[in-house]
Each structure stands twice: as structure tokens, then as C-alpha cells.
Structure 1
Amino acid sequence: LDGLLFACLGLWAYVHAVQRAQWRWAVLAAGFYLLSTLCKEVYVPWVALTLLLPLPAGSQSAAAGSPGAVGSPWGMARWRFALPTLAVALAYAVVRISVFSGIGGYHGSALGDWRALPVFIGNLAHMLAQGLLGSGALGMAAILACLVCLVAGVAAQSTPHRRWMLVGLGAAAVVMVFPLLFVVHPGVDLIGYTRYLWVPWVALCVLWSLKWPARIARWRAAALLVFVAAVVQQSIAQREHDRPANAVFEAHYAFALNPPPGQILVPYEFFSPISTVTQIMYAHAAQQRLEPGRLHPEPALLRKAPADAAERARIRTWNDKCLCLVPLDSLPPEQQEAVIQSQLANVGHAFSMDKPPPRVAHGYGGSIDAITVEGRQLHISGWTPTLGAGRKMVMAVPTPGAQVSLDALVSTERPDVAQSFQRQDMLLSGFEAILGFSDERMAQAASRMRCAIVLGHLPGQEHQFLLLPVKGKQGCSDALIPDATRAEGG
């Protein structure tokens, strides 16, 4: 909301700058634009509106009476008074590229090449339609009503204005679509990522302020009611979807930021076996940075099986019925064992990779010592910086489109690693994994894998992803988070 306010004030000041031919308004517009970009990066593309927004002629330009006057869409003044805002956009781009090693942040663009454009447009339309207005007959009717609103609004303009309105709508499309280049991927959970649709949502609401032709204006209220009904239905569905997820993270963040003395947490496996623990440890690390003068006890996570009933009573786990953390010993005995085994078991995932992995790793740790092919199986062995049980690992193989499965992931003893680190609790840091493929050719191709990703356990690494290079080689460096944004302690 803050970013939207500053972005709109920036456009307001820019219009004044062009119409009054005063640089102070242009500087003010650039200041508001800067504030909006610091609120959220989705407002960075708003610079396109500065360049292409159709502007009415101001008093000075009307007096001038020339087609190139200050307020005219054809005049150079609109570009000249946009220079301060453009300078802010350029500076932002330089800083962002240096910090993230690219404009997309941690994830690459969903649009790999022009051949992927039809698929991307289809995914984008699907996400916008169902994410904003929902699926089903009501959602489809609301989408159709929005399209009618768009066409009617353009048709209601006079011929000269219609051309510039289309230019303005093109600029609005850039504003809406550009941030989504980095998040709209095949299979994206529409209702789980609707926060990305904030700017399209605002644009959709503004759409209904357009004038309709007089002969169909009486239908505008009915179409708007259909739109509102779909919005209400989608909002209710969204709130019900978000309520359990919000409760999960609120409870886990509270535990991470203010760890109850003596309690041990079994993190809830939300998106993946490592997502929740990673995010709460990020929150803990952020709190340490924000308040360096205060003591911030680290949240205790379950790393080994409880030795007795007293230790079991200290463990807290998530309960879906109450949407809260409960004592482990309050559950039936069979559920208690299932919770412990789920947390302490090795959990792995294998997938075929057709592009560089996202920037998620903080550094290197462990090693993949051997890769051998036996028929349709790939055998991988090595070690990870793991304490006790519960290794969490992801293996990516360079076989786009291949069907790959993780057939086995077991711990093995590595006394050499325990001796090197002087930690006996790292005795089971070794592992052996078996990946299965549809044919031997795919297995041979997958043997060229460069690295795997594992969640660190050692002190200072509990909230970090680490890369396991093959045979000590530092491959997959493109998966490392850039130095400027990497957390300390890697």
C-alpha cells in the first residue's frame, strides 16, 4: 500500500511537471518513484507509465498552440521532465544487478527464449484469470466482463485519443507483466502465490473507471456486479486457503524469534522438508542483525531421538486440528513415533534440470566422492556436513525431460569426516543414494551431474543451503547467492 501511494504520487507530480514546465515537480516525481521502488520491486516498471502515459495539454502548451508544446503527447518536454525519474530507474537497475548478479533476483526469467513465448503467454493468462477472479462459471463471466470493459472503454474514445489510450494501455501491460516474467512458471500454484498479482489487481480495478459508449452504458453496472461477485468469492477462497499457512508460519516464527526455554521444535514440513526450518532460521538471523546488542538464543530443533520421557515432553510439534504447536507427548504414541521418524529420516528429492538452478546456496559443504552407472541406475556416494540423523538433500541431474526417481538414500559411517571435524556426532555424515531412470542412456547422461544441494547442520549453517560439489570440484557456482546478499557464517 505504501508503494502504491508513492507510485501514484510520483505520476501525479510528473503530470504537474509536464503541464507547468517546472523542474521542481519533476524532481519531486523522481523522489516519490524512488520511495515506491524501495517499498517493493513491482513498482520499478512504473517508469514505463512516465514515458507513455497520455497527458492532456497544460495551460502553457495551450497558449503555445503548437503540436510540439509542453503538454502535447508529441512534445519532447514530457521526455525531458522524465529524466530525473529515469535516472532513479537506471541507478536502481545498476544497484540491483550488482547485488543480485542479474535483474531477476534469485530466480531466472520464466521466458527462456522466444520459442517459449506462446507457453508463457498461456501460463500468464491462466494465472491472471484464475488467480484474480477464480475458476468456474462466475470467474469466467467476470473475465469476460473485464474484456468487455476494456474494449468498450477504448471504443468510447475519440479517434485521436484512442491511439494514445492504446499506447497507455500498452505501458500498463508492461507494468503488469514484467515482474511476472520471473515468477510465472508451468505448474505454479496460482492460489498460493497471489501476492504476485498485486499490481495486476490494482490495474483491473482502475479498468472499471473507463467510460463506456452511451448505447451500452446501462449494462456497465450489471457487468461490474458480476466482477464484484467473483472478487468476493475468490477472496473468501483465498482467506480459507491462507489461514492454515499463516498460522503455521506465525507459530514457527514466534518460536524462532523468542525460543521458549527448554523446548525443542519439530519444524512443520510445509512446501518441502527444508522450507520451514530454513525460513525460521532466516528470521532468527535477521533478528540478530537488527538487534546486535541483545542476546538471541537460537531455537532448538530436533536433531536426535529423545532419550527419555522427560526429553520427549520438551518437544513441540505442529497440530493441524488446533493450528498450533502442541507437546509431542500429548499425541497418541503411534503419532509421536511417526513425527520423530519423519524428522530424523533421510529425505531426498531428484529432478531433471534443463536450466541453471536458482540462487539458493550460501557456500560449499561436503562432497560427492563417486558416481557410477549400473544399468538404469545411478549410484552416488559422498558425505554432507550432517549432525546425527535427518539428512535433507536435493539432487539435480543434467537430463532435461528425463523421468528420474530417488530409489534410496541411506546414511553411512564416515570416521574420517568425524575425525577431521573433531565431532563424533558427524560419524553418520556419509550417504549413498540411488537414482532410477527409464533407460541406461539417461543414466549415463545423468552421471555428468555437477553438484547436489543439502541443508547444513553445523553451527552457523542450520539455516543455509550448501552445495555438494562432485569430487571436490566447485561446480554449480551459478547456484550460489551473490556475495552481496549472502548471509554470514557460510
Structure 2
Amino acid sequence: AQWRWAVLAAGFYLLSTLCKEVYVPWVALTLLLPLPAGSPSGMARWRFALPTLAVALAYAVLRISVFSGMGGYHGIALSSWQDLPVFASKLVHWLVQGLVGSGVLGVTAVLLCLVCLVAGLAAQPERGRLAMLAGLGAVALVVVFPLVFVVHPGVDPEGHTRYLWAPWVALCVLWSLKWPASLARWHTAALLVFATAVGLQSLSQREHDRAANAMFDTHYAFARTPPPDQVLVPYELASATSTVIQMMYAHAAFKRLEPGRPHAEPALVRWEPANAAERASIRVWEEDCLCLVRLDSRPPGEQESILHNHLANSTTALPMHGPLPRMAHGYGGSIDSITIEGTQLHVKGWTPTLGPGRKMALGVSAPDIRVRLDSLVSTERPDVAQAFKRPDMLMSGFEATLGFADEKMARTASEMRCAIVLGHLPGQQHQYLVLPVKGKQGCDDALIPEASRTESDSG
């Protein structure tokens, strides 16, 4: 309750906002902290919070200008109030699984947290319960709000543990609530059960992180300084392109941090090896040793499977019932025609993707559509090659046949606005590009905001 401490706190808060992994809204909870005895009454709390709130406001303005919104690259998980029950159930499952585990012990720990909450309220004098409920409601709002941008289908808590920091601190504070005297002896027992669940979950998370960190560290090292005469088949973490994209972003970061130093592009496998020497130069990730090994050290059948998975064409459905994640760096290519034939769609167009390994995600307007790729063949596009003055783009055209469960799904998918593809041209290697239908720019919400793109991204 002194200005010197208020200003100093705001200064440290300003420093913290310069870090990537910091939960900026947490500072709102300072408005709920009790002031020391003898502090000025009335609006004193707000007055002393003004420096920190000014920093928060400035941060919000900066974030909105850079990311074109508060949520960063994530779209909000709630597109309408009808989504609230589904989102709430996913949120509860996500928090339980991530914080204490989803087994019997974890569920028991969560139930004991609720008991702790009720016991803490019961221990308050009658006049204090309403204030405590209001405070707990405010805390829950501050803690849960950013998760609205995170808890999407398919996002697992093990891979996104940094988002659990604020809920974790809130639970720890919850256990400091005073219990009624008649229940005080049970407090220690309940806390021990909770701590046991947390400990086991932490051990499981540590084992998960050890393998994931080793994999990323190894791939980042390869991206920064590709070893001579070696090329890499990247590990498929969440999709066929996720680790590739991470490597390219790391490479771009290294170039910006060390602008005067030459940086070779990450040496990734782009073609079938032509001979034994080329095959011997290929490295793949080995989970047993958490290291890169030679491809030709694997059994012949496994070698072919690894190469096929990496170089094969693939198509998935990208649900567009809500805002798309901000993942694309620009527009490229087009979908020229879409025709329906029973349960199949025939899609024709071209992409800035050369050679094998054409990866495409179709933006469809329903969340539950499953699509299979029946065929995807390259076709000649002399008009594209002539327009770009690149003879190697002659085979940039494609004809895809997509299969669906029934005709209704096929008709729904035929209304797609765009697709997302990986580019291979210089300046676009392994970057996501929007492929509009018939030249329409229907997926602007998928573009990374221009303010946070690098110069090479906009190619």
C-alpha cells in the first residue's frame, strides 16, 4: 500500500510481459489481494493498482495490433453459446487429465478439491461467504478465460502443459483455505491424496517431456547446422508436417539472430533416394535411443514405409465451423473446379508444390466430416510454368478424388472455401499457403497477421 512498491511491481510485471510464456491476465488477481492493516480505505486498492493496470492495457493494445486479436494464432473455441456445454466438458477433462491425471486417483483428487472449496466456505463467517464466493468467481474467470482460446478438439494437455500454470497455482491456493475445526484433521489426509496424484502425474509428464525435448533439440540442431552429407526424414509428432514447420521456424529465427552468418536450409528428404549412397545419407529419429540413426540401419520393409509416409501425397479435412487457426503465410495456387459424383468429389487445380509429398487440408464447413484420399495425381500446367517462368512447375497441377461416407457429406464438402497446402518454392519451403477456390480469398482468417510475419513469409 505504498506507491514505491506499486511502481516497482509494475516494472517487474512489464519485464514479465516481454517473455513468451507468461500468463498476462494473472495480474488482475491483485485487485483481490487483501491490503495490510492500517491501509487507506475506499479506492486505495484501485489507485495502487493503476501502474500495473496501465502496463496491462499497453500490452493489450500491442498484442491486438500484432496478432489482430487477443487470442494470438488460436481462434476462440466458442463460436456460439450452444457450444458452451461441449466446451465446459472438454475443459474439465483437459484440466483433470493435465493436472492430476484421468485415473481413479486423479478423479478422487479433483473431488477432494471440491470438498476443500466447500469446507473453506463453511469455515467463513456468514457475512464473509458472499465476498469469498465473489472472489472465487473472479479467480475462476481470470484462470479459465485464456483457455477459451486453447481447449480445441485434439489439443492434448501433455503437449501444452504451459497453459496449466494458472489453474495449478489456483488449486494450490485453494488448499490454503481454512477448514472448519471439526474437519481440520481430514485436511492433511485429503491434501496427501491430492499431492500423491499430482506427484504421479508429474512423473508421467516428466517422462513425456524427456522424449519430446530430446526430439525437438535434435531436430533444431539439425535445422541450425545441417551435418555434412546428411538429409533428414523429420519425425511426425502431431501430423506429417508439424516437425518440419517447427524446424523451418527455428531456421528463420537463427537467421534473424545471426544475420551476418550464412545459414544453410535444413536438409530434408524431398525425393526417393536414387542409389545406396543417397540412402546411406538419410537420417531418421529413433525413439529407443532418442537420437538420429541411418535409414539403412532399419529393416528394408521399414525403410520403405518411412520414405513412403514422408513422400506420399496426403489429404485431410479441416473443419471450418469456427475460425481457422492462424497458420498460413500467404496465398498460392488455386482450386479450379469441384464436381460431385455420388460419394466422391473430383477436385482440380494447382499448387506451388513440386515433386512428391503434396500435403493438403481441405476446409469444410462441418466439424465431423471424414475424408479419404482415393487418388491424387500430378497434371501438366504449362500456363502456370509460363506465368512463373519456371519450367519445373510444369507438373504443378493436380487432380484429386476424395471419398466420403455418404452423398450428404460430399455435397457439404463441395462448398469448401479453400484448402491449406505446403509450398515448396524458394521462400515458401514448407510454409502453409491458402489455396482459394476459383480465385476467391475465402480463408483470410487463416492468415498469420501481417505484423507478425517475416519478410520471407509473405512471398
* Coarse TM-score class (shorter-chain normalised): over 0.9
Q: 2:380 aligns with which of 394, 413, 417?
A: 413
What is the distance in 2 between the residues matched to 1:34 and 1:233? 35
In the alignment, which residue of structure 2 is the partner of 1:208? 175
What is the one-letter code of the residue matched to 1:395? Answer: L
Moved more, 176-185 or 336-345: 336-345
Equivalent positions of 1:154-193 (< 5 A) are 154-193=121-160
User: Does residue 336 of structure 1 match 2:303?
Assistant: yes
Give 1:137's aligned residue: 104
The DSSP-based 3-state class of the residue aligned with 1:171 is helix
Cα distance in 2, alignment partners of residues 135 and 388 from structure 1: 44
Deviation of 1:413 (Å): 2.9
Letter in 1 for 2:37: G
CA distance in 2, matches of 1:54, 1:299: 50
1:434 to 401, 410, 413: 401
Q: Determine if the alignment matches structure 1 residue 319 to structure 2 residue 286.
A: yes
- Go from structure 1 to structure 2 and tell me whether the alpha carbon gap of 1:174 and 1:362 turns closer, same or farther (over 3 Å shift): same
**Alpha-carbon spacing, 1:396–1:200, altered in 2? closer, same or farther (3 Å):** same
Which shows bigger deviation, 313-322 or 359-368? 313-322
Rounded to whole Å, the distance in 2 between the matches of 1:418 and 1:154 is 72
Q: 1:76 aligns with which of 16, 20, 43?
A: 43
Deviates more, 1:127-136 or 1:442-451: 442-451
Matches within 5 A, 1:65-104: 70-71=40-41, 75-104=42-71
Q: Which residue of 2 aligns with 1:302?
A: 269
1:32 aligns to 2:12 (yes or no): yes
Choose the corresponding residue for 2:234, options 259, 267, 277: 267
Which whole-Å CA distance do the structure 2 matches of 1:55 and 1:188 have between them?
Answer: 37
Q: Is the 8 A contact 2:26 2:143 kept in 1?
A: no
SS in structure 1 at match of 2:433: strand
Deviation of the 1:232 alpha carbon: 1.4
Runs of 5+ consecutive residues of structure 1 not aligned to the other structure:
1-15, 18-22, 62-69
- Among residues 58, 61, 73, which one is paired with 2:37 in the alignment? 58
Deviation at 1:363, TM superposition (A): 0.5
Choose which of 68, 90, 93 in structure 2 pairs with 1:126. 93
CA offsets, 1:302-355, max 9 Å, x none?
111222222222111122332211112222222222222222211221244212
Listed one character per residue, the Cα deviations across residues 218-248 of structure 1 (whole Å, up to 9, x for unaligned) are: 1111111111111111112222333332222
Return the alpha-carbon distance in structure 2 between the equivalents of residues 125 and 217 of structure 1: 28
By how many angstroms is 1:217 displaced? Answer: 1.0
Q: Residue type matched to 1:35 in 2?
A: L
**Paired residue type of 1:190:** P
The aligned counterpart of 1:461 is 428
Greater displacement, 148-157 / 448-457: 148-157
Letter in 2 for 1:488: E
* Distance in 2 separating the partners of 1:352 and 1:164: 43
In the superposition, relative to structure 1, how do residues 262 and 326 fare at CA in structure 2: closer, same or farther (>3 Å)?
A: same
Residue identity in the other structure for 2:8: L
Q: Which residue of 2 aligns with 1:151?
A: 118
1:7 alignment counterpart: none
The 1-side partners of 2:131 and 2:46 are apart by 16
Query: Would you say 1:194 and 2:174 are equivalent positions?
Result: no
Task: Give the Cα–Cα distance (whole angstroms) in 2 for the partners of residues 266 and 136 of structure 1.
Answer: 36
What is the one-letter code of the residue matched to 2:19? C
What amino acid is the match of 2:250? Answer: A
Distance in 1 (CA, whole Å) between partners of 2:103 and 2:440 is 52
Tell which deviates more after alignment, 410-419 or 242-251.
410-419
Instruction: After superposing the two structures, state which structure 1 stretch, 94-103 or 76-85, moved more.
Output: 76-85
The answer on whether the counterparts of 1:48 and 1:171 sit within 8 Å (CA) in structure 2 is: no
Distance in 2 between residues matched to 1:143 and 1:445, nearest whole Å = 41
Higher RCO, Cα 8 Å, sep 6+: 2
Equivalent residue number for residue 44 of structure 1 = 24
**Which amino acid is the alignment partner of residue 43 of structure 1?**
Y
Name the counterpart of 1:366.
333
In the alignment, the residues of structure 1 paired with residue 318 and residue 33 of structure 2 have an alpha-carbon distance, to the nearest angstrom, of 48
Letter in 1 for 2:165: W
CA distance in 1, matches of 2:55, 2:399: 52
SS in 1 for 2:159: coil
1:110 corresponds to which residue?
Answer: 77
Q: Tell me the amino acid that sits aligned with residue 267 of structure 2.
A: A
Q: Are the counterparts in 1 of residues 247 and 266 from structure 2 also a CA contact under 8 Å?
A: no
2:23 is paired with a residue whose SS is: helix
The aligned residue for residue 379 of structure 1 is 346
Q: Which amino acid aligns with 2:453?
A: R
Residue 276 of structure 1: SS of its match in structure 2? helix
Quick one: structure 1 residues 403 and 278, their matched pair in 2 at CA, closer, same or farther if it must change by over 3 Å? Answer: closer
For residue 361 of structure 1, give the secondary structure of its aligned residue in structure 2.
coil
Runs of 5+ consecutive residues of structure 2 not aligned to the other structure:
none
What is the deviation of 1:463?
A: 3.5
Q: Give the whole-Å Cα distance in 2 for the aligned partners of 1:130 and 1:311.
A: 44
CA shift, 1:42, in A, is 5.0
Query: Distance in 2 between the 1:120 and 1:399 partners?
Result: 17
How far 1:82 sits from its partner (Å)? 1.9
Distance 2:21 2:102 in 1: 28
Counterpart residue number, 2:209: 242
Compare 466-475 and 280-289 and name the one that shifted more.
Answer: 466-475
Q: TM-score, normalised by structure 2?
A: 0.93
Note the C-alpha offset of 1:400.
Answer: 4.6
Cα-to-partner distance string for 1:161-220 (whole Å, 9 max, x where unaligned):
433332322222122101111111244323332321111112212222222222111111
**CA deviation map 1:243-280 (0-9, x unaligned):** 33222212111100111122111111211011110111
Paired residues, number: 457
In angstroms, what is the RMSD of aligned CA positions?
2.0
Letter matched to residue 237 of structure 1: S
Q: Which amino acid aligns with 1:30?
A: A
SS in structure 2 at match of 1:431: strand
Distance 1:243 1:25 in 2: 40
Please give the alpha-carbon distance, in whole angstroms, between the structure 2 residues aligned to 1:408 and 1:242. 38
Find the aligned partners of 2:394 and 2:208 in 1 and give their Cα distance.
42
Matches of 1:462 and 1:54, distance apart in 2: 50
- 8 Å Cα contact 1:26/1:84 also seen in 2: yes
Q: Does residue 278 of the first structure (1) align with residue 278 of the second (2)?
A: no
